[in-house]
Structure 1
Amino acid sequence: MRDQEPAPFDAERRLSTREAAELLGVKPETVYAYVSRGQLTSRRVSGGRGSTFDAGEVEALARRNRRDGSGGSGGGNAGGELSVRTRLTLIESDRYFFRGVDAVDLATRHTYEEVAEWLWTGRMVPGITFTAPPGSVSVARRAVEALPEHTAPADLLRVATVAAATADPLRFDLSEDAVLGTARTLIPTLVAALPPRGHDRRDEGPLAHRLWPRLSMRKDPDEASLRALDAALALLVDHDLAASTLAVRVAASARAHPYAAVSAGLGVIEGPLHGAASGLAHRLLQDVLEQGDAAPVIADELRAGRRVPGLGHRLYPGEDPRARALFALLERIPRAESALLAARDIVETTARHAPLHANVDLALAVLTVSCGMAPTAGETIFAVARTAGWIAHALEEYGERPLRMRPSGLYAGPRPPQPLPE
């Protein structure tokens, strides 16, 4: 059976503001922005207050936007990059801000849970802790325990997320209160589902305290180490439209529930250029500590054609503010001194040829190496922390027009009609 043929496009008819906005894939106010810039002409409706637009002119602008990749202010391209309006994170002049407040100040003065709540609601709730429902934890743990022993952190967390979703019959409720409720229970559920490295399986207290025994074999960590872990979580809550966050917003644009949106983010962070980058920095730092000198280790990296992990960030010409803040906290931990010196050696050795500063992956590596954690611990910290940011972005996207994250492909294949293949 053949699909119904679309109605032919009538270039001479007039479009309403709503129809023009739908054809252009923008909000109605953006249509009027095109008018003010001289890209469209409007005509007042006789006897009414609305405007109409020439269909041929609108279609031409839509084709032009698709060709050059530009779009409306709600989700187009600027400088060849996708841009999405957000009220969450601003990165500017080697600093970053959560809802207008310096993110480093927030992370160094408040707990991870408090910073997450600020990002979600714009309200500070001192002393807030997140509690996981026993049923959700039980389902997630059983699912995680069924996985092979050396399963990667992102896979553990993704399986736990899917399992937790099955235990939540209200997961399809996308109202703000419901999504916030999911956020406050999903994050502690993910932590509780992670297998402990020792015999301690605490499920109470601040989230960083619960996460510690899942990352380190060292019992009874000192307060400075726990504070550094908590600050690392808070510093990593969000970072604008990173690759995993974009995946979350695409899922939320299609009205996937929060568990599915978080799962989309977890599917992206495993890449070595994103969430897994701290593991590469961890191994580099270990090699430098073993050899006692960064020079031969850096030389081996460059000889193999690999970029030196833990250095440089495309959004910060200077030092990554997250790294600077975390290094300052790590200096309060005596056993971190040798790892800090090794990290400084890496930066100074590389600086002879390239002016690259330390990024948060190198700072995470110092934390994980000095606290007896596995190379994958940084990825776990990143994923747990960023879950809060992903849900904040999903919340924003639920308030936007559905399916707006639908770019047009620029076809570069052979022009039709082509003969049927033999």
Structure 2
Amino acid sequence: MTDQERLTTREAAQRLGVKPETVYAYVSRGQLSSERAPGGRGSTFDAREIEALARRGARREPAASTSGGDLAFRTALTLIDKDRYYYRGVDAVDLAAAYGFEAVAEWVWTGEPAHGTHFTAPPQFLEAARRAVAALPAHSGAMDRLRAAAVAVSAADPLRFDLSPAAVLGCARTLIPTLVGALPTADARRPVEGRTARQLWQRLTPLAPDEQSVRLLDTALALLIDHDLAASTLAARVAASARAHPYAVVSAGLGALEGPLHGAASGLAHRTLAEVLERGGAAPVVADHLRSGRRVPGLGHQLYAGEDPRAEALFALLATVPRAADALAAARDVVETTARHTALHANVDLALAVLSVAFGMPAEAGETVFAVARTAGWIAHALEEYAERPLRLRPSGHYTGPRPPRPLPS
């Protein structure tokens, strides 16, 4: 970084993870200095000041009120910077390429490399989870099953209220395989064994797993472990702030993840790709979305100016799988067709959709992968939050109703 390096308002906002108007709020409060850009259009900012402010934890929208709870999130888990993201300072894409899901999860949890890690579901936990899942209506989806399984395992674990780091890590290593094991297999005749990716594969598609396909899913799981303070992660941290046990933290995350703008977005992208393949091209499909005022699923991400690095990594792997060629071409067609209207890059939801379409998985498969992977991230954030002051995440509401006193309603 040179002494004279200046950033535009947009670049400064992206580096801090805030809206452009918030950058000017920092200026008005004396936290940043600015200069008029050449030609008098807009402002520029000292890159060193932006970096210093980011290190102080300003990558959040400032609280509307200084009273009430503490909204400063200190985290050593994930940094998103310049269209890349890092787990504890190491490039997450490189980690996912070099290690399996379990090893990367251990790195995010502890900061220590763990080779040969294997997660195991205790039989009594697995039995409780499967009983709960079996009691659900036949039309229940994977997210319904995962939520039911998390609650059932919680009730089966008498040590769930032990929030010591060792106990929480022990919970994580058993909860993840239990959640996967509670899902029905796509082919009941095939024995289910192996690590998380192999076990999950056999619950997403009846196609027999091979090393290439398992590696693809394993990489996807590792890439999705954490992504800073996404909505589900914020929900998980709020629960942990109230000292909810790890199972409840995961339940909070699962509830937020199910929204169509979060985990369920990959299902929308799946249906879009399936329609593109059915109609022989992206043009009519994209046109239908734009005509009805809907955004095209699987495109754009507020934290990346270019292509989502998770999508980029998965597309590179998918390009080596002959079975994925048609779905991958459909995804590229969607991106190129939409680019004529607006410059949006592919995000991880589109990459997950290529995976699910190519291997005959249900539309909700991407969301399932997301939920299993992000469970590891929610536990990591719970570990951080348990070390903070309890109930610090208590913002003050801005009351806009009628002023009291008012008479009792008749």
Common topology (TM > 0.5): yes
Q: How far apart are the structure 2 equivalents of 1:201 and 1:174?
A: 38
Q: How much has 1:152 moved relative to structure 2?
A: 2.1
| Mean CA deviation greater in 401-410 or 197-206 | 197-206
Q: How much has 1:69 moved relative to structure 2?
A: 3.2
| Residues 72-151 of structure 1 mapped to structure 2, 5 A cutoff | 75-76=70-71, 83-151=72-140
User: SS where residue 270 of structure 2 aligns?
Assistant: helix
User: Contact 1:154–1:269 at 8 Å: present in 2 too?
Assistant: no
Instruction: Indicate the residue corresponding to 1:212 in structure 2.
Output: 201
Q: How far apart are the structure 1 equivalents of 2:314 and 2:365?
A: 16
User: SS where residue 91 of structure 1 aligns?
Assistant: strand
Are 1:187 and 2:176 counterparts?
yes
Deviations, residues 155-197 of structure 1 (Å, cap 9, x unaligned): 1101001111111110000000000000000000001000111
User: SS where residue 80 of structure 2 aligns?
Assistant: strand
Are 1:353 and 2:349 counterparts?
no
Q: How far apart are the structure 1 equivalents of 2:384 and 2:79?
A: 15
Instruction: Indicate the residue corresponding to 2:297 in structure 1.
Output: 309
User: SS where residue 86 of structure 2 aligns?
Assistant: strand
| Residues 255-270 of structure 1 mapped to structure 2, 5 A cutoff | 255-270=243-258
Q: How far apart are the structure 2 equivalents of 1:86 and 1:234?
A: 19
Query: Are residues 70 and 371 of structure 1, via their aligned partners in 2, closer, same or farther at CA, if it must alter by over 3 Å?
Result: farther
Query: Are residues 394 and 147 of structure 1, via their aligned partners in 2, closer, same or farther at CA, if it must alter by over 3 Å?
Result: same
Instruction: Indicate the residue corresponding to 2:237 in structure 1.
Output: 249
Instruction: Indicate the residue corresponding to 1:342 in structure 2.
Output: 330
Amino acid at match of 2:127: S
User: SS where residue 97 of structure 1 aligns?
Assistant: strand
Instruction: Indicate the residue corresponding to 2:397 in structure 1.
Output: 409
Q: How much has 1:421 moved relative to structure 2?
A: 1.7
Amino acid at match of 2:79: L
User: SS where residue 173 of structure 2 aligns?
Assistant: helix
Instruction: Indicate the residue corresponding to 2:228 in structure 1.
Output: 240
User: SS where residue 85 of structure 2 aligns?
Assistant: strand
Q: How far apart are the structure 1 equivalents of 2:66 and 2:80?
A: 22
Amino acid at match of 2:367: E
Structure 1 gaps of 5+ residues are 1-36, 40-65, 77-82
| Mean CA deviation greater in 200-209 or 270-279 | 200-209
Q: How far apart are the structure 2 equivalents of 1:100 and 1:396?
A: 16
Q: Which has the larger Rg?
A: 1
Are 1:68 and 2:64 counterparts?
yes
Q: How far apart are the structure 2 equivalents of 1:70 and 1:105?
A: 40
User: Contact 1:323–1:362 at 8 Å: present in 2 too?
Assistant: yes
User: SS where residue 416 of structure 1 aligns?
Assistant: coil
Q: How far apart are the structure 2 equivalents of 1:184 and 1:305?
A: 44
Q: 2:382 aligns with which of 374, 381, 394?
A: 394
Instruction: Indicate the residue corresponding to 1:156 in structure 2.
Output: 145
Query: Are residues 404 and 203 of structure 1, via their aligned partners in 2, closer, same or farther at CA, if it must alter by over 3 Å?
Result: farther
Amino acid at match of 1:361: D
User: SS where residue 273 of structure 1 aligns?
Assistant: coil
Identical counterparts, % of pairs? 70
| Mean CA deviation greater in 192-201 or 391-400 | 192-201
Are 1:419 and 2:399 counterparts?
no
Deviations, residues 266-288 of structure 1 (Å, cap 9, x unaligned): 11111100000000000000000
Q: Provide the aligned C-alpha RMSD in A.
A: 1.9
Q: How much has 1:206 moved relative to structure 2?
A: 1.4
User: SS where residue 358 of structure 1 aligns?
Assistant: coil
Q: 1:224 aligns with which of 207, 212, 222?
A: 212
User: Contact 1:88–1:99 at 8 Å: present in 2 too?
Assistant: yes
Q: How far apart are the structure 1 equivalents of 2:125 and 2:158?
A: 11
Q: How far apart are the structure 2 equivalents of 1:394 and 1:108?
A: 26
User: Contact 1:140–1:159 at 8 Å: present in 2 too?
Assistant: yes
Q: How far apart are the structure 1 equivalents of 2:217 and 2:63?
A: 46
Q: How many residues align?
A: 353
Greater relative contact order (Cα < 8 A, sep 6+): 2
Query: Are residues 200 and 408 of structure 1, via their aligned partners in 2, closer, same or farther at CA, if it must alter by over 3 Å?
Result: farther
Instruction: Indicate the residue corresponding to 2:284 in structure 1.
Output: 296
Runs of 4+ in 1 over 6 A off after TM superposition: none
Query: Are residues 67 and 334 of structure 1, via their aligned partners in 2, closer, same or farther at CA, if it must alter by over 3 Å?
Result: closer
Instruction: Indicate the residue corresponding to 1:379 in structure 2.
Output: 367
Query: Are residues 259 and 344 of structure 1, via their aligned partners in 2, closer, same or farther at CA, if it must alter by over 3 Å?
Result: same
Q: How much has 1:414 moved relative to structure 2?
A: 1.1
User: Contact 1:200–1:213 at 8 Å: present in 2 too?
Assistant: no
User: Contact 1:228–1:329 at 8 Å: present in 2 too?
Assistant: yes
Query: Are residues 315 and 336 of structure 1, via their aligned partners in 2, closer, same or farther at CA, if it must alter by over 3 Å?
Result: same
Q: 2:309 aligns with which of 321, 331, 351?
A: 321
Structure 1 length as normaliser, TM-score? 0.81
User: Contact 1:201–1:210 at 8 Å: present in 2 too?
Assistant: no
Q: How much has 1:353 moved relative to structure 2?
A: 1.1
Q: How far apart are the structure 2 equivalents of 1:336 and 1:185?
A: 33
Q: How far apart are the structure 2 equivalents of 1:218 and 1:226?
A: 11
Instruction: Indicate the residue corresponding to 2:264 in structure 1.
Output: 276
User: Contact 2:67–2:396 at 8 Å: present in 1 too?
Assistant: no
Q: How far apart are the structure 2 equivalents of 1:325 and 1:67?
A: 35
Instruction: Indicate the residue corresponding to 1:49 in structure 2.
Output: none
Q: How far apart are the structure 1 equivalents of 2:222 and 2:325?
A: 23
